[in-house]
Amino acid sequence: MATPTAPAIGASKEAIQSHYDLSNEFYHLWLDPQTRCYSAALFEPEDDFITAQQRKVDYHITQAASQGAANVLDIGCGWGGTLESLVRKHDVQHAVGLTLSDAQKLYIDTLGLPGVDVRVENWQDHQPSSRYDSIISVGAFEHFANLDQTVEQKVAGYRAFFQRCHGWLVEGGRISLQTITYENSTREDFSPFFANEIFPESDLPRMFEIIQAADGLFEVERLRNDRMHYYLTQKAWWQALKRNKQIICERFGQAVYDRYNLYLQMCMVGFKTGSMGLVRITFKRIDRPAQGLR
């Protein structure tokens, strides 16, 4: 099932690896040990952190209608938490995970997940052999644009993503998407620390940019803004980082600890004050887009 290769959009492989390939061991010292998710959990009042992270994974699988599916795509698969749940808990026959992190792929390969194919590959270069029943993408959309792009260029890049997903999905197929957004802020309001030290070559979307990019290709079935869930997630990560300060400093250096300590605290402030949002959107494929909207 060949699709044309799109021009490079968003963060490069090198930029992604500068953050995510620091060390699998480092991230596993402060992410939750069950899902290993590096994205916002979904909390109910009685939940502990691990339960909330698994709830988030199950939410996206349910929203995408992935249970029992023959073929599912996970764009930005991280350390494999969603892939593992798809094939071991939700009876998915075959799941493909895309990541730009060599370290993440190496880790997932050690899990021995049946029916899972992980590729170090940009979504723009992905050439599936058959259509997908559903697509899940959690915490990847933040890397689909960069700080040098205008709003028009960002929307065009996002549009290319949704066009590609539309071509990959079966009729009536769904995408369950989760991403951080700019809320009561602009890119100019953000400290250069994020672009220089944490996520180079990446720029957050605004809500209208996502919806505009999907217009005519997908209908929005559900939308949640759960920014306080990300505040709670960042707080849990920060507390785990502090608990493991000694081992992190010994193995990775004081500078790494200080950088992530500042990063997590700044994110907590951003989500608590509403500078940043956290949206979860369920999209359903429009099978016959109107002329001029394809």
**Enzyme catalytic residues:** 267
- Pairing type for strands 94-99 and 116-120 reads parallel
Cα dist. 14→54, 122, 157, 229, 250 in Å?
A: 30, 12, 19, 30, 26
Give the E-state strand segments of the chain in sequence order: 71-75, 94-99, 116-120, 132-138, 169-182, 218-225, 276-285
Nearest to 144 by CA among 180, 184, 108: 180
Distance, in Å, from the CA atom of 92 to the CA atom of 216, rounded to the nearest integer, reads 29
> Which two structure tokens, joined as six digits, stand for 267?
């994110």
Tally of CB atoms within 10 A around 117? 12
